[in-house]
Amino acid sequence: MSLTTYFMEATYLIASILFVLALKGMSHPETARRGMFLAEGGMFAAIVGTLIGAHIVTWVWIVTGLTVGSIIGALMAIWVPMTAMPQRTALSHAFGAFAAALVGIGEFVVKAAEMGAVTRGALGFEVMLGALTTTGSLIAAGKLQGVIAGKPIQFRGQNAVNLIVALAMVSSFVFFWIHPEVVVAFYAMLGLAFVFGVMLVIPIGSADMPVVMSLLNSYAGLAAAATGFVLGNNVLIIAGTLDGFSGFILSVLMCKAMNRSITNVLFGGFGAVIAEASSNADGVMREISLDDAAMQLAFASRVVFVPGYGLATAQAQHACRELGDLLQGRGVTVKYAIHPVAGRMPGHMNVLLAEANVPYSSLYEMEQINPEFSSTDVAVVIGANDVVNPDARDNPKSLIAGMPILEVDRAKSVIVLKRGQGRGFSGLENPLFFKSCTSMLYGDAKSTLTHLAQAVQHV
């Protein structure tokens, strides 16, 4: 091997090690930032190794791609607010998957006739998975942004249509694999994959997007790994496999947290749960004044904040932390309860609270905090709905029956911060809001928390 080839392989080895360490680092909030830096270093090493070791026909497109991609990435990082991070992540999945599909299409056009059966199979898998992940991610981003209706889009015979499209796509793939000279089979597979990506995600509601995001991340990673097999690129194989299987494991964990079947997720039935939409919600929502809420918090011994997507929408994480710090200064024990699917992507609430410098030691997962609600004086729910809905626990006819929840209704008092009396993304009424222990504090979460902190200071 030449010196440049040795250098390329060495940088690929370094990049692979950094990716593994990055994944390990991101497994815990305290080391997540370091993990991100390691991942950035690994990607930089992989790019440098490729540019030096590969045979570059022309640098024009390389430099253009690096420049345009860097500008777009920088602008997205600077201008996209934390509230829009889920849809930005979905777009990233779409970009990565589309890149894998384009590489596969290019390899097919240039080298299909020369490929062996294994490489050709990897190419077909790469293009098929990359195409369906592209359209699926775009639909997910549209639902999260509100451009596409957030409710599940369903029609009669949908499962049959999905099955037909899937079978036609796989059949085209197999035919192309056996007969690469039949070009129409390849492009039929490509077109059907784009369609199937749409069909996978449209029956899923916006409230169920965390698990979909994990699965799309897995698909994008596997497409990248297949690209590595086609190109003979070791770092793509390693990085794609890490991404693919970590995303799949996370999808399984998300399904467990939402009491859903991984089989339904894999085949696009997730969110299309057939059940009787009944609710135990009955009575009148009792409103509480700002001063009374401040009085409860000021004289409480234990307070638990429960953040939801409403906190993200109002960008209220800093106001929440300031109120928590103020209460702690008065001797109140303050904790933050984190549901695994609160928000619109896995870890959404952890990221927001970390941005506000809430100590990691104050964040408690559902399994840790649920036993403590019975001894909690005040639970403050900030823009959360389904993850605190007791119907999931008590009503077997509910659409979310069996989903593990944060059992805030067991606290002595519950204060719910909401803009109004509307329902969450799932469209379900929440009986928690009608319980005798619950009081509603209406208004923008950021403004309300700020005024609460001011009122607590004067108690």
* One domain for residues 260 and 300: no
* One domain for residues 376 and 259: no
**Number of Cα atoms under 13 Å in the Cβ half of residue 255:** 19
Among candidates 347, 317, 329, 340, which has minimal Cα distance to 449? 317
In a domain, 401, yes or no: yes
What is the mean pLDDT of the segment spanning 66-81? 87
Band (260; pLDDT cuts 50, 70, 90): low
In a domain, 55, yes or no: no
Q: How many domains does the chain have?
A: 2
Q: Give the pLDDT confidence of 295-330 residue by residue, as tens digits.
A: 999 999 999 999 998 888 888 999 999 999 999 999
Q: Which domain holds residue 404?
A: 290-457
Percent of the chain with pLDDT over 90: 44
Band (404; pLDDT cuts 50, 70, 90): confident
* One domain for residues 262 and 311: no
User: Out of 101-115, 164-178, 279-293, 356-370, which region has the weakest mean confidence (pLDDT)?
Assistant: 279-293
Residue that is last in its domain, among 266, 298, 313: 266
Inter-residue contact 440 to 411 (CB < 8 Å): no
Helical packing angle, 445-457 and 317-329, nearest 10°: 20
- pLDDT of residue 150 exceeding 60: yes
Among candidates 441, 451, 452, 425, which has minimal Cα distance to 285? 441
CA distance 343 to 208: 10
Question: What tokens does 251 get?
Answer: 């999808």
Q: Is 14 exposed, middle or buried (0-12, 13-18, 19+ CB in 10 A)?
A: middle
| CATH number (domain holding residue 319) | 3.40.50.1220
* One domain for residues 138 and 255: yes
* One domain for residues 196 and 250: yes
Percent of the chain with pLDDT over 70: 91
* One domain for residues 295 and 337: yes
* One domain for residues 261 and 316: no
* One domain for residues 215 and 339: no
Band (275; pLDDT cuts 50, 70, 90): very low
* One domain for residues 238 and 101: yes
* One domain for residues 328 and 188: no
In a domain, 249, yes or no: yes
Report CA dihedral (397, 148, 310, 411) to the nearest 10 degrees.
Answer: 10
Catalytic residue numbers, as ranges: 386
- pLDDT of residue 336 exceeding 90: yes
Q: Give the pLDDT confidence of 409-448 residue by residue, as tens digits.
A: 999 999 999 887 666 555 678 899 999 999 999 999 999 9
In a domain, 280, yes or no: no
pTM over 0.85: no
In a domain, 272, yes or no: no
Residues in the chain: 459
Question: What's residue 139's pLDDT?
Answer: 92
- pLDDT of residue 34 exceeding 80: yes
Q: What is the mean pLDDT of the chain?
A: 86
* One domain for residues 142 and 190: yes
